[in-house]
Amino acid sequence: MAYEFYYWPTIQGRGEFVRLALEEAGADYIDAARESEGVAVMMRMMEHAAHPPFAPPFLKDGETIIAQTAAILLYLGARHDLAPKDPVAGLWTHQVQLTIADFVAEAHDTHHPIAVSLYYEDQKAEALRRSAEFRQNRIPKFLDWFETILARNPSGGAHLVGNGLTYADLSLFQVVEGLSYAFPKATKRALADAPHVAALREAVARRPRIKAYLASPRRIPFSEDGIFRHYPELDG
């Protein structure tokens, strides 16, 4: 039975982390909200489910519904060899993913620092201040942490955990792709000091299933409607 994946059909957003895992796993899935009437179905599920998701993304596997990106990846990782079988290493992978979620939230807040209900133009002055802090301090700090994890991995510096690809590697790839779109100048500078992170990004992009996905219409382009938005005035 195919997974049913629910997320907004026109943006990558937080759903893209799940899509990458499904694609790398070669899993049979339906990107349900991109089907006819899919958004309406998604909204009804959120309204009527016994355990309603707070927001997309969520994954339906038979009668089981899993929401929250990190929880979905924890579920998929164990079923598709995208996480270590050792429980301690699996928990560490989950911790890394939760830190990635923190990073993504901070990236989002550069263009919506006051309220998600307001347009970017309504909070532009605050966004300029928030983005300066994010560029100068937060991007380097997060990437340095991931760089340290890669460099200290006793199995070598190719992966965040162990000696094989995990969903955390896929997610770090997506973050770097998004930052490179939204903050190309700042990200290029930060990656110069994070060679292991840069190498992981390139290695993930070369993986056959990921490469095919990135070149396919299933990969929604970055845009100014998603988490990672390119406003030139916020980069520098």
CATH classification of the domain holding 144: 1.20.1050.10
Q: Is residue 106 part of a domain?
A: yes
Within-domain flag for 69: no
CB 73 within 8 A of CB 17: yes
Would residue 218 count as lying in a domain? no
Asked if residues 65 and 53 have their Cβ atoms less than 8 Å apart, the reply is yes
**pLDDT for residue 38:** 87
Give the model's confidence band at 196: pLDDT under 50 very low, under 70 low, under 90 confident, else very high: very high
Range of the domain at 145: 87-207
Residue 225 lies in a domain: no
Instruction: Give me 95's structure tokens.
Output: 């911790």
55 located within any domain: no
Q: Helix, strand or coil for residue 224?
A: coil
Assess whether the previous peptide bond of 57 is cis (omega < 30° from 0). yes
Q: Which residues contact 94 (CB under 8 A, 6 or more apart)?
A: 70, 74
Amino acid at 228: F
pLDDT score of 36: 86
Number of domains making up the chain: 1
Which pLDDT score is estimated for 119? Answer: 96
Buried b (16+ CB within 10 A) or exposed e, 200-225: bbeebeebeebeebeeeeebbebeee
Kindly report, residue by residue over 93-121, the tens digit of the pLDDT.
999 999 999 999 999 999 999 999 999 99
Instruction: Spell out the residues 6+ positions from residue 175 whose beta carbon is closer than 8 angstroms to its own.
Output: 100, 103, 104, 107
Query: For the chain, first and last CA: distance in Å?
Result: 48
Mean pLDDT, rounded, of the chain = 98
User: Alpha-carbon distance 151 to 179, whole Å?
Assistant: 21
Strand (E) or helix (H) holding 61: strand 58-61
Tallying the residues shown for the chain, one arrives at 236
Give the model's pLDDT for residue 98.
99
Instruction: Report the predicted TM-score, pTM, of the whole model to 2 decimal places.
Output: 0.97
Residue 164 domain flag: yes
